[in-house]
A and B are shown apart, each in its own frame.
Chain A
């Protein structure tokens, strides 16, 4: 019954993720190059924007629901978050709205 393939996927994903977390502590030690410190400051907002695009990569604006449920749900998350600054509220409301749209409105 044990899914060996999934087991390997978990081992590899885990090893790579944990290794990446350890890498800066192993590789740079006491002296960190100045350009690395700069990247540490400015990269997180860039990467979060990139991961948002990554999440939406399969949205097809030409077919199906044309990305309308995704766009509406994202706008809702942005508005709610600017207004309340409550991550949990933004995520929960956005996800429920999206689930409702894809299950009932754009089904």
Chain B
């Protein structure tokens, strides 16, 4: 049955493969245009393995960001992973050892979207492993491309915005209550206006959490 599990994992991860490889190439190209090559694509893909955080890292490399500031940024950008973990902790709680550790480490947005539907441990493991392979291969390919093909990459960082917009649309179409998305958007825009671009993430997270609890009666149906 093992091969069929792998086969199913390959089949189901095909959309993630195209997304990760293309976005990974975009990341690798951007990285190499800032002077960081294949080594950094590989290192970030393994040590961080979060598309959002890796894109933000490129900014931090070149801006000379301080280490405390980097930790704070990572905390805010990656905070959403806590909630994937919470919703998976019941199922993944039964898995032990290195395999479990790997699956938790590799729980990205896209991997979560696939494994949250499944109870099959092997399937979840292969989905996790395949997804990371796609991402790392994409990043390394992009870094190589960026070094050999010089072209104008201005605006390529919009790939991240486009990724989040498409995830928002997908979640909107799939969810019964639209309050969480509306709350997230409204609170973030208000906090951006009030606190400015550099400081709005923490107030926005606090505001979102408060509003989600305040409106719980309407949201949780």
Contacts and interface: CB of A to CB of B under 8 A. Distances in A.
Given A47-B184, A88-B18, A91-B159, A25 B85 contact: yes
B131 to A, nearest CB: 13
Given A44-B171, A47-B80, A91 B67 contact: no
A94 B158 contact: yes
Classify chain B's interface size: 35 or more
Classify chain A's interface size: 35 or more
Interface stretch (B4-12, B50-58, B119-127): B50-58
Contacts of A54: 77, 188, 201
A44 B82 CA distance: 10
B192 interface: yes
Interface of A: 3, 5-6, 8-14, 16-18, 20-25, 28-30, 32, 35-58, 69-70, 73-74, 77-78, 81-82, 85-88, 90-92, 94-95, 98-103
Contacts, number: 263
Contacts of A86: 15
A54 B196 CA distance: 11
A21 B154 contact: no
Interface in B127-163: 152-156, 158-163
A17 B48 contact: yes
A85 B19 CA distance: 13
Contacts of A48: 80, 164, 167-168, 171, 181, 184
Question: Interface residues of B: mostly helix, strand, loop or mixed?
Answer: helix
The residue among B48, B105, B208 with the most chain A CB atoms within 10 A of its own CB is B48
A85 B170 contact: yes
Given A17-B78, A102-B154, A103-B155, A87 B165 contact: no
A45 B85 contact: no
The residue among B52, B82, B201, B209 with the most chain A CB atoms within 10 A of its own CB is B82
The residue among A20, A50, A81, A95 with the most chain B CB atoms within 10 A of its own CB is A50
Contacts of B117: none
B93 to A, nearest CB: 7
Interface string B71-97: 101110111111111111110110000
B40 to A, nearest CB: 7
Contact of B165 (A8, A47, A74, A102): A74
A33 B182 CA distance: 25
Given A44-B180, A81-B169, 7 more contacts: A12-B70, A17-B74, A30-B93, A32-B90, A48-B167, A85-B173, A90-B166
Given A38-B216, A47-B83, A47-B184, A78 B70 contact: no
